[in-house]
Structure 1
Amino acid sequence: MLELAGILVLGVVAQWLAWKIKQPAILPLIIIGLLIGPISTFFTPDGSKLLDGDQIFSGDLLFSFVSLSVGVILFEGGLTLNLKEVKTVASTVRNLLIIGVLITFIGGGLAAYLILDLSVSIALLFGALIIVSGPTVVLPILRNVKPNAKINTILKWEGILIDPLGALIAVLVYEFIKSSSDGNYYTVEALKDFFITISIGFFIGGIGAVFIWYLIGKNKIPDYLKNVFTLGMVILVFTVADILQKEAGLLAATIMGIVLANLKLDDFKKILSFKEDISLILVTLLFILLSSRIEIVQIEKLGTRSLLLFAVVIFIIRPLGVWLSSVGSNLRWRETLFIAWIGPRGIVAAAVASLFSLDLINSTTNSAEIRSDAELLLPLVFLVIVGTVVIQGTSAKWIGKLLGVLRKEPQGVLFVGANELSKKLASFLKKEGFYVLLADTAKHNVKEARKLNLPVYEGNVLSEEIFEEVDLSQIGKLMAVTSNSGLNTLAMNWFDSELGEQNTYRLVSKEEAENENIPLPKNVLFKSRLDYLSLNQLMRSNEDISEVKFYGEAEYEEFIEEKGKTIIPLFIIDADKKLHIISGYPHEVNKDDRLIFLKNKNYSMDEVSN
């Protein structure tokens, strides 16, 4: 009880720490696991670990827990692989998913075979495991570094799509090793077992996905049970496939996720969100649990040759794969070099490596060479994970500055809410050439915004999914303009660390609008006491949003003195086409700067252009 509670508490601390330092959660999770596991043996009086996974789960129970957990994680990974998206992404991304994957698989396996003298099968399994990157490690780095839009798009989509692909390849290699455990890799019996495993995995996984799609699509399952039912089906599909053919469960779970992701399902986002929450809990448990099981002897076995293998992976294999994948693209050499440097390994790699090594070591049907090499598999993969996250994650910003590939200050605006007010403001800015994006959960608002050809995100702006599903590289400012003042404040706070406090704005609340004794907080839109309803009514009374151009500071000051009380200033667009959102009147205006504003009731000025 104490050990399990300790893992959960430490896992939450690790997740919070990762958020605080803007690094992938995988790093603190593994480090905590190693600290309370093998490293703690140097400090305890009897040389025992502070926490050992074998003390919590013993024997087959540990293997069953890890197997089911990895099955759910692979299912969630499979849910992110939309085949239509693979077709539409840039050619460089497609090449990375084909050429890059092959280079990593073959190159990693060959390097492990030559440098560490691993058996061919374990070396190829290592090569398959280090294919997987994943959004959980890539996106935090991108959000911290902020490379240009081209690099951001390529690395983001590679991370999302390579997760299930890499897992699928790793599972297939693992199935082949298990099918040929007697060492006769190309016997008819081994190939027969491999074919049966693959067939059952694809068939059971596909049937499970179609079954969920039918029941949920036809509303045979109540809303409150849909997520739990899906989780139960994942476990059922995994178990049935594993009973029919040993080790087919992992493949079935992966295929089930991929098939379900490519079937039209209205509640797909809710299911995906739920699975991500479950995966987060399982990943937290698995990483601390399994890294605590590593023995000092296994780490010592790695030696200096493992560091050489690590260097080959990040300095030769990754750059070679990226270079071959970018041939013929419009990437500059600086951009190609930066992409080659960012290749952190992720959660799926560690989870699958943990499961495979555990099973290969304990399996009596495997040769002594396979079991011995399998002991190195988990620490090797952990070395690559920790090494890539630490080295590449901490140096990415410096490398980006050195290569000059960091994005310039983006001028796009994210509107929280796709209501009448935001649509009119966004339409104006779009005509001026600024990138705009509206976010809303109401289907009607989303539909109406799309009729106006405005980019819109249908989803919760306060969820982590927006950073994964939407390219925010062009967004530099946020305007929270919903009728819900609480949501507006939360949205500002949510994006403060992403965009900077000086770039997030909101409307005043009803209380702030009605009580002039309440001082207006910073970053209130348009420095007015007009709440959502009042501003919306004023917007309707203006046929067009007005503007006036100034040729000097004196002209601007004269205009403000004369007309300041009869207008609501919205934006300043300067001569360099930079957008400045008004939160109080700007102190300085240069030549050819334009003030964008709304007329109040008692406004009149013939010389102002509309």
Structure 2
Amino acid sequence: MIAGILWILVMGFFVGQIARRLGAPSLMGTILVGIVLGPQLGNIIDESILNNADELRTIAVMAILMKAGLGLDREKLAKQGTVALRLGILPAFTEAITIAIAAMVLFDFNWMTGLLLGCIIGAESPAVIVPGMLRLKSKGWGVAKGIPDAILTGSALSDVFLLLLFSLLLNFLSQGQLDRLSLPFGIELTALQLLPFQVISEIVLGVAIGYFAARLLVVLLVGQKWTQNQTQEMLLAACLALFLVIFANRWPHFSGYLAAMAMGFFLVELDAPLARRLRLGFDSLWTIAEIFLFVLMGASIQIAVLEKTLLPGLLLLAIGLSVGRMMGWYLSTMGSNWNWRERLFLLPGNSAKATVQAAIGAIPLAAGIDGGETILAIAALSILVTAPLGAWAIPTFAPKLLEKGAIDPTKVTVATRTTFLAAVDTSPLAPAVLTKTADLARRSNARAIVLHVVGEDRPQQVEELRQVARRWLSDIEHEFFTVNGAAAEAIVQLARDFRVTAIVLGKRGHQPWENVLVGSVSRAVLETSEIPAIVVEDESRGVSDFRF
């Protein structure tokens, strides 16, 4: 089992990175690894891992839903009005109906079996859509109108709706009749008639439970301070989110996925600093979970069955997407402030299939439903076609179809590297400046730029200064630069070129005859630089014994 996990992690990572360097989505590489390592070809993955694939997928989906919730923007969602709600129902519903009709023609399915297939294929993949939308938010694409937020919310709601309909149809096809519920006054309702009430119940209860879970987490982590570091905070939050997902399987009156996503959303509203720390933790967790999710997806694909339904399956997917889903997109965005380019972006941004199809695609076959083998093959085909295509198309078409707006760093992790510029000379202040720079860099996992403005220094002094910088910054990623010219101008210019976070420099005095970075230089930097500067004062302790 441990060897299988190592194969998944190592091969999944490296092949995924190779795919990324070739210009393809990394998940294409990880899915390919799953096919090669799985029982269809290499049979390297241990059977115990494959038997527990559903549980491992649940952990991965929990991580991505928490990331989605922590990245939602309440103000942007409020501006969209009913667009997000309509995106949660109409595209999935129209695609499911269209696929059901097409399956009756292409595969000779009956109406109920075709609709069962439509529910599987119509579901959207949080594993592809959530990272894609959060990446757009971190770069500002479509954020002014809240387009990524609307797609994220709609994706979660659509899965709630289709999973409920799927379970209802599966029940009917297995038992041959719909369950009936007797109410007071002699009223009887079938499961189909109860479906709208079940959808509303799952959504309302899911949001409510997510809210109370977020409140509980804030009380434990902020009010009672039960944890001592960020890792413990993330561990407790992940356990609570996973409990919501698992408990929903035992008590199926609320959506566990929606509850996990709602918990992340309300954490941002209740305690933004805690949400920011958790966002960083779930970013790291997703790095590992993503590999497991897509490798196990690849391992579950049955190549032999896939070959039999390749061409009609591709035709079915094309009909569902180009007719059913596009009709739903049009109806969802009617009356909104989206222009035609932004509506067109829904084609790459809201059509990826992966997670739900991997989770429920094999259930009809296991339940003995006629056509179950074909349903599984089309579910696998939808993953192979739409997941890589969606992961590639989202970042590719967003700059062409969406407008770029201001990034809100309180909702997403903005990928910027912290850099400090240490301006040093051959005076005894150099170790103090380097010590301060190293301390700041270690606190924020930053890199350092060391700058020495060459005056009348001898080459031996410059080399000694380079060795001192190497010693004090030995565990910090750093570069050493020497330039000629006016000290203050050179410091400010290099800081701009490297877009540093802050400048660290020394201030020893105001005597113009001293050939060091004296007060006049530090004062000039403070007056001319728009980048914050940290000035290290001349103190005897720790620096007086340093000489070149």
Q: Who is 1:602 aligned against?
A: none
Contact 2:98 2:324 in 1 (8 A): no
Matched, 1:261 2:280: no
- The offset of 1:211, in angstroms, is 2.7
Runs of 5+ consecutive residues of structure 1 not aligned to the other structure: 39-47, 411-434, 438-454, 471-477, 495-505, 543-567, 572-610
- SS of the counterpart of 2:414? helix
Choose the corresponding residue for 2:450, options 509, 522, 530.
509
Contact 2:124 2:356 in 1 (8 A): no
Compared CA separation, residues 195 and 509, structure 1 to 2 (3 A): same
Matched, 1:213 2:207: no
Alpha-carbon separation, structure 2, partners of 1:267 and 1:151: 23
Contact 1:10 1:32 in 2 (8 A): yes
Given residue 358 of structure 2, which amino acid in structure 1 is its aligned partner? S
Q: How does 1:295-374 map to 2 (within 5 A)?
A: 295-327=302-334, 333=340, 335-336=341-342, 338-343=344-349, 345-346=351-352, 349-362=353-366, 366=367, 368-369=369-370, 371-372=372-373, 374=375
Q: Who is 1:4 aligned against?
A: 5
- The offset of 1:86, in angstroms, is 0.9
Say which structure, 1 or 2, has more relative contact order (CA 8 Å, 6+ apart): 2
- SS of the counterpart of 2:261? helix
Alpha-carbon separation, structure 2, partners of 1:150 and 1:75: 21
Alpha-carbon separation, structure 1, partners of 2:60 and 2:418: 40
Matched, 1:284 2:291: yes
Alpha-carbon separation, structure 1, partners of 2:245 and 2:101: 36
Matched, 1:187 2:180: yes
Q: Who is 2:92 aligned against?
A: 105
Identity, % of aligned positions: 14
State the Cα deviation string for residues 355-406 of structure 1 (Å, max 9, x = none).
Answer: 22244443xxx45237445423531431442463378469749x94xxxx68
Q: Who is 1:230 aligned against?
A: 237
Contact 1:34 1:294 in 2 (8 A): yes
Q: Who is 2:77 aligned against?
A: 86
Q: Who is 2:482 aligned against?
A: 519
Choose the corresponding residue for 2:524, options 533, 538, 558.
538
Alpha-carbon separation, structure 1, partners of 2:306 and 2:456: 65
Alpha-carbon separation, structure 2, partners of 1:257 and 1:456: 19
- SS of the counterpart of 1:134? helix
Q: Who is 1:294 aligned against?
A: 301
Q: Who is 1:125 aligned against?
A: 119
Q: Who is 1:168 aligned against?
A: 160
- The offset of 1:507, in angstroms, is 9.9
Alpha-carbon separation, structure 1, partners of 2:53 and 2:228: 33
- The offset of 1:112, in angstroms, is 1.6
Alpha-carbon separation, structure 2, partners of 1:235 and 1:140: 24
Alpha-carbon separation, structure 1, partners of 2:136 and 2:279: 23
Compared CA separation, residues 318 and 5, structure 1 to 2 (3 A): same
State the Cα deviation string for residues 3-54 of structure 1 (Å, max 9, x = none).
Answer: 321111122114434553565433322233234447xxxxxxxxx6213657
Q: TM-score, normalised by structure 1?
A: 0.58
Choose the corresponding residue for 2:281, options 274, 287, 294.
274
- The offset of 1:509, in angstroms, is 3.2
- The offset of 1:156, in angstroms, is 3.5
Contact 1:71 1:253 in 2 (8 A): yes
RMSD: 4.9
Matched, 1:466 2:473: no
Alpha-carbon separation, structure 1, partners of 2:133 and 2:161: 20
- SS of the counterpart of 1:188? strand
Runs of 5+ consecutive residues of structure 2 not aligned to the other structure: 183-189, 423-435, 463-480, 497-502, 507-520, 532-548
- The offset of 1:109, in angstroms, is 0.6
Given residue 129 of structure 1, which amino acid in structure 2 is its aligned partner? A
Alpha-carbon separation, structure 2, partners of 1:352 and 1:69: 12
Given residue 273 of structure 1, which amino acid in structure 2 is its aligned partner? L
State the Cα deviation string for residues 243-274 of structure 1 (Å, max 9, x = none).
Answer: 4x3x668x224314303422402412222322
Contact 1:507 1:525 in 2 (8 A): no
Contact 2:214 2:264 in 1 (8 A): yes
Q: TM-score, normalised by structure 2?
A: 0.64
Aligned length: 443
Alpha-carbon separation, structure 2, partners of 1:3 and 1:214: 40
State the Cα deviation string for residues 211-244 of structure 1 (Å, max 9, x = none).
Answer: 323222313411332221222223334444434x
Alpha-carbon separation, structure 1, partners of 2:362 and 2:439: 47
Alpha-carbon separation, structure 1, partners of 2:495 and 2:247: 62
Alpha-carbon separation, structure 2, partners of 1:485 and 1:241: 50
- The offset of 1:152, in angstroms, is 8.5
Q: How does 1:54-69 map to 2 (within 5 A)?
A: 55-57=47-49, 59=51, 61-69=52-60
Alpha-carbon separation, structure 1, partners of 2:376 and 2:454: 66
Q: Who is 2:382 aligned against?
A: 381
- The offset of 1:526, in angstroms, is 4.7
Contact 2:65 2:130 in 1 (8 A): no
Alpha-carbon separation, structure 1, partners of 2:337 and 2:150: 17
Contact 1:33 1:288 in 2 (8 A): yes
Alpha-carbon separation, structure 1, partners of 2:120 and 2:275: 33
Q: How does 1:128-147 map to 2 (within 5 A)?
A: 128-130=122-124, 134-138=129-133
Contact 1:482 1:488 in 2 (8 A): no
Contact 2:34 2:295 in 1 (8 A): yes
Contact 1:104 1:130 in 2 (8 A): no
- The offset of 1:284, in angstroms, is 1.0
- The offset of 1:115, in angstroms, is 1.8
Compared CA separation, residues 328 and 64, structure 1 to 2 (3 A): closer
State the Cα deviation string for residues 540-595 of structure 1 (Å, max 9, x = none).
Answer: 557xxxxxxxxxxxxxxxxxxxxxxxxx9x99xxxxxxxxxxxxxxxxxxxxxxxx
- SS of the counterpart of 1:51? coil
State the Cα deviation string for residues 473-531 of structure 1 (Å, max 9, x = none).
Answer: xxxxx9967778689999xxx9xxxxxxxxxxx9963546899754349x977546995
